[in-house]
Amino acid sequence: MSYGARMSEPDDISPDAGGDAEGETHGAPGARPVVRLKPRAGRRFFAGAPWVYQDELVLDRRTRKIPPGSVAELQDAERRPLGLVAVNLESGIAGRLLDRDPQAEIDGAWLRGRIARALALRERLFEAPFYRLVHAEADGLPGLIVDRFGDACVMQPNAAWADARADEIAQALREVAGVGTVMLNAGSRARGLEGLQGETRLLSGALDGPVEVSMNGAVYLADLVGGQKTGLYFDQRPNHAFVARLCRGARVLDVFSHVGGFALAALAGGAASALAVDGSEPALALASEGAKRSGFGERFSARRADAFDALGELGEAGERFDVVICDPPAFAPAKSALQNGLRAYARIARLAAGVTAPGGYLTLCSCSHAADPAAFRAACVRGIEQAGREAQLLRFGEAGPDHPEHPGLPETSYLKALTFRLDG
């Protein structure tokens, strides 16, 4: 496993389901399919969540024949319309809300409208066109992720409805955002949960190599074809910026660095040196090239290694760093993995605290939606205490504003970044 791969974002959520009674579903001939909630089902939906779980629906013979990705009218138990949902009975999330208006047409104009709304927010937030353009449910396009890299977009259609309309979505991106290149990335874990397969492929335009992305004073290189996820993690941008403020004159260690992550931002912030540790040689090669293009290649070094092994070896060698950052993959991508994941986070915290200099700064990150902020914080504190260190918690960071949270889905608040000052 490449420890640079951060595997969990809101598109990777594994739902818990609930429901009760039986019934039948009927739709008028020639009309949209209809799916109906069982009596007393859909509590989260009525509280604002845009999901309906499989065992909350009446599953008669007609409903079971609805092809994955179809648009259906959702009705309550009394057959009153609630809106339009994208149906996939092969997924635990059987219905994803597309529109509260049951008369809406989910067509090209509808897609362009949703993308235009998402684009307006990002253009207000950022001067340069490098950001997450579409963040799934929070942007009214459930299961769809789109990251923008200048004239190119990488889309992850992680729900059946979006996968079936990939070409139409690509066309809408070209028309609304004015991009020339659209890449479809089919490598997400979430696609398996939806019963989807497929290959990463170019839908339009051309790519002749990694794309340069300027963030926080550094140049990053994003591999849109073979890189992890969409090629770069825009979500950490504000956390990179905060940590960089702590790095003037510092010796920095960036573990699970991917393509330079915190290390390049730290060097841009005036760090004396930065060592990037990752399990992926291609990612570290991009990080090294990014450091060179940023003008501080001589202060950057890379080490390909297992993160746990590297931290242990550095600690045994007596190495100490002024600033240490660990941004690992999702140790708890689902609730079934939570306890093992929390133990892994505590272990990382213990090892990282062991190589942090007295008075130094330690940032620990989690992208596991299953580990809520309180549980993650407790695991980090436990690990720091096991290392015999005392700590001040300086900051709790989250994803940037181009990764908005759906108010009805706390699961979409997945990224956590805790920065401590360590004494002793």
Q: How high is the pLDDT of residue 218?
A: 98
Q: Domain end: 69, 99, 129, which one? A: 99
User: Within this chain, do residues 237 and 346 fall inside the same structural domain, yes or no?
Assistant: yes
Asked, for residue 5, whether it belongs to a domain, the answer is: no
Q: How high is the pLDDT of residue 186?
A: 87
Q: How high is the pLDDT of residue 188?
A: 79
Asked, for residue 241, whether it belongs to a domain, the answer is: yes
User: Within this chain, do residues 267 and 299 fall inside the same structural domain, yes or no?
Assistant: yes
Q: How high is the pLDDT of residue 255?
A: 98
Other beta carbons within 10 angstroms of residue 218's beta carbon come to 24
> How far is the C-alpha of 117 from the C-alpha of 61, rounded, in Å?
38
Which among 274, 287, 391, 394 is positioned nearest to 325, based on CA atoms? Answer: 274
- Provide, rounded to the nearest whole percent, the portion of the chain with pLDDT above 90: 85
Q: What b/e readout covers 227-265, taking b as 16+ CB neighbours within 10 angstroms?
A: bbbbbbbbbbbebbbbbbebbeebbbbbbbbbbbbbbbb
φ and ψ at residue 189, rounded to 5 degrees: -60, -35
Asked, for residue 219, whether it belongs to a domain, the answer is: no
Asked, for residue 209, whether it belongs to a domain, the answer is: no
Q: How high is the pLDDT of residue 334?
A: 85
Q: Domain end: 171, 204, 237, which one? A: 204
* Enclosing domain of residue 143: 108-204
User: Within this chain, do residues 92 and 112 fall inside the same structural domain, yes or no?
Assistant: no
Q: Domain end: 204, 233, 260, which one? A: 204
Q: How high is the pLDDT of residue 160?
A: 96
User: Within this chain, do residues 95 and 118 fall inside the same structural domain, yes or no?
Assistant: no
Asked, for residue 333, whether it belongs to a domain, the answer is: yes
CATH for 89: 2.30.130.10
Q: Please list, in sequence order, all residues whose beta carbon lies within 8 angstroms of the beta carbon of residue 333, skipping any fewer than 6 positions away.
A: 7, 8, 12, 14, 189, 341, 368, 369, 370
Catalytic (active-site) positions: 367
User: Within this chain, do residues 262 and 347 fall inside the same structural domain, yes or no?
Assistant: yes
> How far is the C-alpha of 182 from the C-alpha of 201, rounded, in Å?
9
Asked, for residue 1, whether it belongs to a domain, the answer is: no
Other beta carbons within 10 angstroms of residue 338's beta carbon come to 17
Tally of structural domains, the chain? 3
> How far is the C-alpha of 213 from the C-alpha of 148, rounded, in Å?
10
Which among 215, 274, 278 is positioned nearest to 241, based on CA atoms? Answer: 215
Which tokens belong to 408?
Answer: 């009805």
Q: Specify the length of the chain in residues.
A: 424
CATH for 352: 3.40.50.150
Asked, for residue 150, whether it belongs to a domain, the answer is: yes
> How far is the C-alpha of 403 from the C-alpha of 234, rounded, in Å?
9
Could you read off the pLDDT tens digit of each residue along the chain, which spans 424 residues? 333 445 444 444 444 433 333 333 333 434 799 999 999 999 999 999 999 999 999 999 999 999 999 999 999 999 999 999 999 999 999 999 999 999 999 999 999 999 999 999 999 999 999 999 999 999 999 999 999 999 999 999 999 999 999 999 999 999 999 999 999 998 777 888 888 987 889 999 999 999 999 999 999 999 999 877 788 999 999 999 999 999 999 999 999 999 999 999 999 999 999 999 999 999 999 999 999 999 999 999 999 999 999 999 999 999 999 999 999 999 998 889 999 999 999 999 999 999 999 999 999 999 998 999 999 999 999 999 999 999 999 999 999 999 999 999 987 789 999 999 999 7
CATH for 170: 3.30.750.80
User: Within this chain, do residues 93 and 113 fall inside the same structural domain, yes or no?
Assistant: no
User: Within this chain, do residues 303 and 413 fall inside the same structural domain, yes or no?
Assistant: yes
